[in-house]
Amino acid sequence: MKMPKFKVIYDKPTCIGAASCVAVAPKFWELVGDKAELVGATFNEATKKFELIVETPEDIQLNQDAEAVCPVAAIKVEKISD
């Protein structure tokens, strides 16, 4: 069965270091200094945002949880394929 792919998009300048994402999804989110880092993400020069493709239901859910708790909406999880 083919899994849908999702892209996690992180706008680092928006982050206020609240660490809510780190609390719910430490597998993906770490606090470094006063900003979160999305582990394994690549920087998209065009959009100036960090991006990471996630495919397993667990990894998608973890990042959707992070998206839900971020107080400044710095994290977006978008479906990119079925």
Q: Which residue ranges make up the site for ligand SF4 (CB under 6 A)?
A: 15-21, 29, 36, 69-72, 74-75
Strand partners, 31: 36
Shortest reach from residue 33's CB to ligand SF4, in Å: 11
CB-nearer residue toward ligand SF4: 41 or 69: 69
Shortest reach from residue 69's CB to ligand SF4, in Å: 6
CB-nearer residue toward ligand SF4: 40 or 71: 71
CB-nearer residue toward ligand SF4: 15 or 77: 15
> Count of alpha carbons within 13 Å of 11, Cβ hemisphere only?
11
| Burial environment of residue 54 by CB neighbours within 10 A (0 to 12, 13 to 18, 19 or more) | buried
* Gap between the Cα atoms of 6 and 53, Å rounded: 6
